[in-house]
Structure 1
Amino acid sequence: MGISSMQIISRIPGDSPNITRRTVRDQISDKLAYMIHSGLLRPGDELPSERELATTLGVSRETVRAAISMLQAWRMLEVSQGARTRVLGPGSVGVHDSVSILRDLGERSVEEVAEARAAVELQVIRLAARRITPAQLNRLDDLLADQAAMMDDPVRFQISDQEFHEVLYRACGNALLADVVFDFYGYALEHRRNALRRPGAISHSVADHRAIVAALKSSDPEAAVAAMQQHLEQVHRTTLQEMDAP
């Protein structure tokens, strides 16, 4: 069943009393559930510590702990005293509606999705260069600082990378565009996850992120588009290499 017009309208910023107010705990549990459903986090993966997750996601440790408890109850995570929390799998709970607009991306070709993603994401970054707030720039700086210490920790970097891109998308000031491009981000994550384990892959992504943030700080839309274009081409190239690997 396709998404209804009311579901789309409910995502556009406004004062409608029908918009559901979700707690920060629910938002964090949604993010982690999305990572598991999309294949970014797989069964057996160990999550970063509560402190590391709290830093990456920009929330308190108590919020992270509460979100993990929710996913534990849904049999998506396994929590053991004295050990890292492990991913069990998608469980029986679906991803919250707010993270998905596009359908059936898995049935599209890699080239088709890459072209569509670039068309939307480059417009998003162009808008972000004009509309990003100081608070959002500070958040990106914090994520970049943390990513510098993640060169040998692909799981932690993947979580930070998703957070980085979500901040970028929200900075465009158009919630509908941000939701659409976030769906494109989720395409072929299982292959991108494997690509990040290749030598130098994380450092290349972090360098791309730095270039994007530098362009945003200068409020230069064309420089921001060029930096994002380079990043998307690198992501597309390494994803294809991973998909073609024996």
Structure 2
Amino acid sequence: MPAYSDNSADTIAAALSALPSGTPVSEVARRLLDLFTSGEISPGTRLPPERQLAATLEVGRSAVREALAALEILGIVDVRPGSGTYLRGEASELLPQTLRWGLLIGERNTRQLLELREGLEIYVARLAAQRADDEALARLDADMVRMREARDDLAAFARADLDFHHQLAQTADNDTVTDLLHVVRSLLQVYADRAVRDTSHAEVAIREHEAVLTAVRRRDADAAASAMAAHMATAAVRLSEASRE
């Protein structure tokens, strides 16, 4: 199996970003899961040490250790005492068994997942507008800056886009809704990675995200929900097209 190397460390470091202070273990696990199911890391790769992952995410080593333990239970990684932690399987194989079925059912299930995601994202935007504080707004602003700067780098753009939605969900401060949304996103990730095909798609997505952020900044829940509904409509079209390829 491929061993841990400087190249894999650089790939992981580039894909991960610092998490806010006090981030729970569940969010650390979600961030690692998003990376491991992205296809950027080869199956069998030995991951960097816990201390390096903790430094990259700016969280404690215990949070990384617990997150990796949870991912081991799900079959995402293989922790070998005295050897290291290794990534298991291809991207589509890394989802828990109960989730993998969703990828196999076909077009009807994909449509239903898109509808569920739309409803959850709209509700998250509404809650975020009601609950955003200055710190949350600053993080959303930072994600928007990254999206604008990455419009010509679609892989980096996709990561910034996902981070914006993750931050919006954190701002909504409803763990049940966030967990449901994470499951749906995981099921759709295989299509989402290739849904934004060119700079013109990225420009549209930037304008739509800016509309959501503007409404959240004004604490206008109705406007935030409407802006997210508009974004979900165009995003659903792109995801549907990607799922049929």
Q: TM-score range by the shorter chain?
A: 0.5 to 0.7
Letter of the 1:41 counterpart: G
Task: Provide TM-score, normalisation by structure 2.
Answer: 0.64
Alpha carbons of structure 1 residues 166 and 223: separation in structure 2 relative to 1, 3 Å: same
- Note the alpha carbon deviations across 1:136-171, whole angstroms, 9 max, x for none: 111000111121111122222222222211111121
**Which structure is higher in RCO with an 8 Å CA cutoff and minimum separation 6?**
1
Q: Which residue of 2 aligns with 1:184?
A: 184
* 3-state SS, counterpart of residue 204 of structure 2: helix
Letter of the 1:168 counterpart: L
Question: RMSD of aligned C-alpha atoms?
Answer: 3.9
* 3-state SS, counterpart of residue 219 of structure 2: coil
Q: Does 1:76 align with 2:73?
A: no
Matched residues, percent identical? Answer: 21
- Note the alpha carbon deviations across 1:116-145, whole angstroms, 9 max, x for none: 222222222212111112111110001111
Matched ranges for 1:138-157 at <5 A = 138-157=138-157
Matched ranges for 1:60-75 at <5 A = 61=56, 63=58, 73-75=84-86
Unpaired segments ≥5 residues, structure 1: 1-21, 45-58, 78-87
Letter of the 1:75 counterpart: Y
* 3-state SS, counterpart of residue 180 of structure 2: helix
Matched ranges for 1:18-97 at <5 A = 28=28, 30-37=30-37, 40-43=38-41, 61=56, 63=58, 73-76=84-87
Unpaired segments ≥5 residues, structure 2: 1-21, 43-53, 69-76
Q: What is the rounded CA distance, in whole Å, between the counterparts of 1:62 and 1:35 in structure 2? A: 13
Q: Which residue of 1 aligns with 2:71?
A: none
More helix, by proportion: 2
Task: Provide TM-score, normalisation by structure 1.
Answer: 0.64
Q: Which residue of 2 aligns with 1:105?
A: 102
Q: Which residue of 1 aligns with 2:173?
A: 173
